[in-house]
């Protein structure tokens, strides 16, 4: 039996875990037909299961600090040293494993800070010509707005057209299309394929009756502090009024100081359960009567798959408007309720949670099988590229 061909997937998560979880889901689906080499550039957080049958190469971990600048997650290695070592690791993987496909998550639509390690990979792959790997970009549904939007979009389009063979947009085109947040003067010259949304694979089971309980979460937890503090205040209001229990999932990336403060503040509150992580937030959502959360990509997938009546409080600081864009779209389709983060406090959160009692989302119109679609499309696309190469 012939060994599986190799597919190399590069993923760098810097703030939350959304990029990592989505890429893990893709890697799991791709592993059916490929030897998947997963290059992970951030920390591997506790509580997130690794995809099966996937070879993970841990690069020297880098991330974003509070000021947005790169930081090394290894205190013994500087950022510059880590970047040099990562470049060597990435190019070594290309030479050693000789992948037929390279999938780069987000770049060049984002991750500009990592261009000095991604561009050498793309250039080396491009130098191989027709015998080189097919290079694809894996892209979420909504892009972040930028101060230099036109310059950014033009640069991204130029890099895509020079080094990539296609763009995979992990969205339903009836929900949002790439051109709504991407406006280069020179259009993309490669195929853009809408895969549908990508979510973690979950075992089939018979749904249990929902417990009367509110679940509060914020993805990895790094941006959850304001939501969690307001949730503690809201819980006291709702417990006095209607004895509504609450479970707060802090997330693996919430800072230790904030985690300790939550433990102290929630210690004597009746009806409050505080946990650091759960195996699967989406499964937990299936078991409760309502959810309050941020609106990152993977949290949104958990909401849609679970069918839970959900309130979202999008994270947004500076130009980070991706979550608000997504939230407003979801609200327009009747899939979630939205609380503007500028209005977030205990009282407004309690009021918005009360409104979920009569809210019933309808997820039937959204395409949610993006991982399987991605795996199928890559196989079909590669076959087309090979045919073109034979007759070129």
Token pair of 292, please? 């309050």
Residue 147 neighbours by CB distance under 10 Å:
8
How many whole angstroms separate alpha carbon 298 and alpha carbon 281? 10
Upstream peptide bond of 108 is cis (omega within 30 degrees of 0)? yes
For residue 246, the surrounding DSSP H or E stretch is strand 246-249
pLDDT reported for residue 143: 87
10-residue stretch averages of pLDDT, the chain, 392 residues long: 86 81 93 96 82 94 84 91 95 96 96 94 94 94 87 97 97 91 94 91 68 95 93 98 97 92 94 93 94 94 93 83 92 94 97 96 82 94 76 48
C-alpha distances out from residue 361 to 93, 300, 324, 366, Å = 45, 13, 18, 12
Q: What are phi and psi of 229, to 5 degrees?
A: -65, -40
Q: Which of 195, 127, 198 is nearest to 166 (CA)?
A: 195
| Phi and psi, residue 50, nearest 5° | -80, 145
Listing DSSP states for 218-245 in one string gives -TTSTT-HHHHHHHHHHHHHHHHHH---
Concatenated DSSP letters of 248-260 = EE--TTS-HHHHH
The per-residue pLDDT for 389 is 60
What domains, with CATH codes, occur in the chain? 6-199+368-391 (3.40.50.11380), 211-358 (3.40.50.2000)
Pairing of strands 62-64, 70-72: antiparallel
């Amino acid at each position: 039996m012939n060994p599986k061909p190799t597919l190399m997937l590069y993923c760098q998560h810097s703030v939350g875990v959304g990029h990592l979880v989505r890429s893990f889901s893709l890697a799991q689906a791709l592993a059916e037909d490929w030897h998947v080499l997963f290059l992970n550039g951030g920390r591997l957080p506790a509580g997130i299961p690794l995809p099966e049958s996937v070879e993970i190469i841990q690069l020297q971990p880098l991330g974003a600090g509070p000021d947005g600048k790169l930081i090394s997650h290894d205190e013994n290695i500087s950022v510059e040293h880590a970047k040099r070592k990562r470049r060597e690791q990435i190019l070594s993987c290309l030479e050693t494993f000789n992948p037929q496909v390279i999938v780069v998550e987000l770049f060049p639509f984002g991750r500009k800070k990592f261009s000095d390690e991604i561009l050498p990979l793309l250039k080396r792959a491009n130098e191989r010509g027709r015998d080189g790997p097919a290079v694809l970009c894996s892209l979420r549904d909504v892009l972040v707005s930028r101060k230099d939007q036109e310059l950014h979009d033009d640069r991204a389009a130029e890099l895509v057209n020079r080094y990539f063979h296609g763009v995979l947009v992990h969205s339903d085109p009836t929900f949002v299309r790439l051109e709504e947040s991407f406006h280069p003067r020179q259009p993309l010259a490669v195929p853009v394929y809408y895969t549908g949304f990508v979510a973690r694979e979950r075992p089939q089971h018979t749904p249990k009756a929902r417990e009367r309980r509110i679940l509060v979460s914020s993805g990895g937890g790094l941006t959850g502090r304001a939501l969690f503090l307001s949730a503690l205040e809201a819980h006291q209001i709702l417990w006095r009024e209607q004895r509504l229990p609450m479970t707060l999932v802090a997330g693996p990336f919430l800072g230790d100081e904030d985690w300790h403060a939550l433990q102290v503040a929630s210690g004597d509150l009746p009806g409050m359960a505080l946990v650091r992580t759960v195996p699967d937030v989406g499964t937990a959502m299936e078991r409760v009567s309502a959810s309050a959360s941020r609106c990152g990509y993977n949290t949104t997938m958990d909401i849609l798959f679970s069918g839970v009546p959900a309130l979202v409080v999008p994270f947004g600081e500076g130009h980070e408007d991706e979550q608000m864009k997504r939230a407003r779209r979801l609200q327009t389709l009747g899939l979630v309720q939205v609380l503007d983060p500028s209005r977030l406090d205990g009282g407004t959160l309690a009021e918005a949670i009360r409104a979920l009692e009569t809210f019933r989302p309808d997820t039937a119109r959204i395409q949610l099988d993006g991982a399987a679609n991605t795996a199928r499309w890559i196989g079909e696309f590669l076959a087309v590229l090979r045919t073109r190469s034979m007759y070129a």
